[in-house]
Amino acid sequence: MTDQVVDTGGASGAGVTGVAPARTGRGRVTGEDTLLGRERELAALHEDIGRTGLDTLAGQTPPRARVLLVAGRPGSGRTALAETFAAALTERYPDGLLRVRLTDPAGAPVPAGDAARSLLADLGEQTPAGAADDVLTEQLRTALATRRVLLLLDDAHDAEQVDELLPDNPACLLLAVATGPLTGLSDVRPCTLGGLERQ
């Protein structure tokens, strides 16, 4: 498997329910655990899932899903890394892998309502026509409240965009792909891509 960006070619990717690996508009990522030249980053992401968060250290139950971040410039292999990592976690998240792209083909941020509507459709949930963004994002949180899913948000613009889709359920995991840090979200575990490891 080569280190390359997997592009959905649309404003929102085709989210996947069930336990299948992540799919994109142009193909499918296999369930392999390794990505050529990114073994160190994959290992770090796996370790971050089990690390104690700030809420747990304070003796509190985490109120929301944990956020892992794959940060890097477009073309760095950030999406391929996230897809490969997500595909390896299907057994941990038996209610499915949901995926949406948060940047449209023109490079503009996808509205939270549009992203939520796409994810709800993947869950088989009906959404009211003309519903406001906050209604749709609240419906998404309600739908995820009793599920154990991995939510992959590709090409996120900023922390606010991610926060609007973050499940209020610590049994879920949110994996974001972005260019830089998600400043403003608490306890985000970043994996920043640099050069490839030498083989």
Q: What is the mean pLDDT of residues 34-63?
A: 65
Q: Assign 75 a pLDDT band (cuts: 50, 70, 90).
A: confident
Of the chain, the percentage scoring pLDDT greater than 90 comes to 51
Long-range CB pairs of 18-26 (<8 Å, 24+ gap) are: 18/96, 19/90, 19/91, 19/94, 19/96, 19/97, 20/90, 20/97, 21/83, 21/86, 21/87, 21/90, 21/97, 22/83, 22/86, 22/87, 22/97, 22/99, 22/152, 23/99, 24/83, 24/99
* Topology (CATH level 3) of domain 16-53+63-179+188-192: Rossmann fold (3.40.50)
pLDDT at 52 (0 to 100): 62
Domain ranges of the chain: 16-53+63-179+188-192
Q: By the 8 A CB rule, do 17 and 148 touch?
A: no
The pLDDT, as a whole number, for residue 49 is 78
Q: Give the pLDDT mean for 187-192.
A: 81
pLDDT at 186: 81
Share of the chain above pLDDT 70, in %: 72
Share the mean pLDDT of the chain. 77
User: d(Cα 50, Cα 43) in Å, to the nearest integer?
Assistant: 12
Q: Is the pLDDT of residue 174 over 60?
A: yes
Position 76 confidence tier, pLDDT thresholds 50, 70, 90 = confident
